[in-house]
Homo-oligomer: A and B are copies of this chain.
Amino acid sequence: MAESEKPHISSGLEGVYITESSICKVAGQQGRLYYRGYPIGALSKNSNFEEVTYLLLLGRLPTSAELAGFKSQLADARDLPKGVVDIIKEMSGKSHPMDILRTATSSLSAYDPEVADPSPEANLRKSIRIISKMSSIVATIGRINSGGSYVTPDKSMSHEENFLYMLNAKKPDKRQVDIMRDMFIIHAEHSSNASTFGTMVAGSTLADIYSAITAGISVLKGPLHGGADEAALKMMKAIGNPDNTESYIESALAGKQKIMGFGHRVYKAYDPRAKIIKEYLVSLQPDSSEEVKNYTAIALRAEKMMLDKLSTSHGIWPNVDFFAGPVYVAAGIAPELFTPIFAASRSSGWCAHMIEYWQNNKLFRPLEAYTGKLDLEYVPIDKRQ
């Protein structure tokens, strides 16, 4: 194209395909989600985070022996170097946990002797270490923020069990572990969303995988992406009493405010992850605290109201972030850890995408349409008006 023509702008890259991939299918029109061909519902019901991570990284479900080996690789990598814990301590109390996670994960590269090895085998080993340690970092951020000190990981526990153990310094109960397993699985992958795409942009320069994952965490922080679950719970807190739900949302919509936890670029149907989390939340009710019951009532009334509006221009579907908050509260998780847990889960998808993209790498380098002037004269500073 000649440089003077006015080009078409692909705003937000909506509808632009950037690569082929066999990792994840988001069937947005049907409201279906697949990891490596398996429906998310089947994985959420039957699987666990280690197995899902194996599936995402290696492309197929493992045998018993393969899974056992993979689990011990993950478990062996859990412990954090002192320098990483020091960063968490220094930033704790001054920073959002996402800022701490971004910094601490970035620092992990200093302790990995394979950081500069670009071979696929080394990238798989580094991925396992990153995925394992990111959960340890998130747990340690929560632990130190609540006044505790670093808990040495327990290799005999599952990934989600050890996460809760490092967070609370006590063996978790089954209900907590089940919740975290579900949340880790559901958040592990979602095709080329903003953070996975940001990971790929970094990796496409042939930067190492620590740089790529740090970019992913940087992208995930925003309230239009990973930060939405925390923002949705904040809204439920602001609503306070379930009877205020409708009036709060009507007035937010009238003020053209975004309702956090609703709407998605790709889903034009019920987000299947939201459906799973909602069912989970409802199943928890009999044994829930008053706080969780209250959030649940607000969430269900808000959902009904938004679904009733589906035939109007305001109608939008709930997404994965909407019901997540109350479920996390039921597992005793502080709201500021929601997005870091999302990041720790998504590290599996980020690493899987990087390993796949590097097989046929191409640098991401888009263009901008220049709208300014040209050939301005540099006027000496004492002659400027």
Contact = CB atoms under 8 A, between A and B. Distances in A.
A301 interface: no
A364 to B, nearest CB: 5
A205 B192 contact: no
A116 B96 contact: yes
Interface stretch (A142-150, A307-315, A316-324, A376-384): A376-384
A24 to B, nearest CB: 7
A191 B368 contact: yes
Contacts of A380: 46
Contact of A10 (B18, B222, B382): B18
A381 B67 contact: yes
Interface stretch (A87-95, A120-128, A133-141, A276-284): A87-95
21 contacts: A11-B18, A21-B369, A21-B372, A22-B370, A23-B368, A25-B370, A51-B381, A87-B107, A99-B106, A99-B115, A103-B107, A103-B109, A103-B110, A106-B214, A193-B365, A194-B204, A194-B205, A198-B198, A204-B222, A205-B222, A205-B223
A201 B205 contact: no
Contact of A13 (B24, B64, B83, B365): B365
A251 interface: no
Q: Counting chain B CB atoms within 10 Å of each CB, which of A47, A67, A107 scores highest?
A: A107
A223 B211 contact: no
A219 interface: yes
A86 interface: yes
Interface residues of A, number: 115
A292 interface: no
B214 A18 contact: no
Given A23-B372, A39-B375, A83-B90, 20 more contacts: A9-B18, A10-B18, A12-B204, A12-B362, A12-B363, A15-B367, A20-B371, A21-B372, A36-B376, A87-B107, A192-B367, A194-B201, A194-B204, A201-B219, A202-B215, A202-B222, A205-B219, A205-B225, A211-B222, A215-B218
B223 A206 contact: yes
B381 A64 contact: yes
Contacts of A206: 222-224, 227
B109 A106 contact: no
A17 B366 CA distance: 6
A351 to B, nearest CB: 15
A289 interface: no
A204 B218 contact: no
